[in-house]
Amino acid sequence: MDSEALVKLALSHLQCSQKELATRLNVSPTQITKWKKGEHMSIAMQDRLKELADIGDLDPTFVLWSGSKENSLKWKKLIDYLAELAHEGSETGYCTRPLEDEMGMLCWDTFLALKEMGVSIPKTFPEELDIDYESLDDESHETFFGNDYTSLIYDIYSSLNSVYGFYAAYIYDLVYDDDLDAFDTPGSDIEACLLSLAACKIEVDESIAPNFRKFQHQTLSDYEKWIAIIKEKAFRAGVPLRAELLKIVYSSAEELDNEAEIESFGANTSRLHPDIYMNELLVGMRAIHQALPAIMKKLEIYDEFQIDESEFHID
């Protein structure tokens, strides 16, 4: 929970000074300053400030990004509707858990991705989207999905179906495998950032999201590192993989969708993909190729060394 956001919302809602807020909370004004700088806040104090700020169970940072509690409720209504719509259209064979939003993080995750892409969140909720979504007719449906925010969020959620399906099919068990001991590594960030990865796989109007390329590059770079950690852990633990995990980084949403669907139907009969550890083998061979000449020169046997081809057997 963002302590800085909670303090700002409480001060704004109560229209009071930091000193007055400190008195209400029975803490020192210095403590309020520390919270504004991001210092950890107890759950009990978080609940107290959420009560004072009158935001209910809404994420405080999401409320700040929305501009007001009223705006955040409207955005949440839109996000919940689009998530349900996208989830119903999933064909991977796996339940896209982030879209079910059991942890209440979908609104925050969505706005974080939009902001990192450079999307400008309006100070007030778009009037044309403040409608009854269940009563959309053909004409209003076209207008609704013609909106930049609606179409962008829906495309991200549709992509998330595919990305999460591949993750659930091939990666989830590895992240939480006790033998791999990967959960306490950066590899554990794989699940938390899947929505951002999904956003990297859609077509985006960069006039709306001017930072998209930078966002995409950083997200894909992070995933390359995280997946490499999981693959190394699996390699060292002797745990076989059923697919090339880096596909989640490089493959399109449609390709990931097909991979997940095949696995969910049990059509993937191979236990170990033949190319899974090829990269690790090639890296090791390159390292030997670079180091061996230096070692031989150090031992002063470089010029004398001859390969005995008779040891090579070709069947």
Size of the chain in residues: 315
Summarize pLDDT for 129-164 with one digit per residue, the tens.
999 998 888 888 888 999 999 999 999 999 999 999
Summarize pLDDT for 182-232 with one digit per residue, the tens.
777 887 889 999 999 999 999 999 999 999 999 999 999 999 999 999 999
Summarize pLDDT for 106-123 with one digit per residue, the tens.
999 999 999 999 999 999
- 280 alpha-carbon distance from chain centroid: 26
| Domain ranges (residues) in the chain | 1-56, 65-264, 278-311
For 217-261, where are the E strands, in sequence order? Answer: none
Nearest to 62 by CA among 106, 127, 14: 106
Q: Would the CA dihedral through 188, 212, 254, 92 be positive or negative?
A: positive
Please say whether the beta carbons of 182 and 230 come within 8 A: yes
Residue 189: burial class (beta carbons within 10 Å; 0-12, 13-18, 19+): middle
> Distance between CA 229 and CA 11 in Å, rounded?
43
- Those residues with Cβ within 8 angstroms of residue 73's Cβ, 6 or more apart along the chain or in another chain: 58
Rg (CA), the chain: 26
Summarize pLDDT for 260-286 with one digit per residue, the tens.
998 888 766 554 454 455 555 556 666
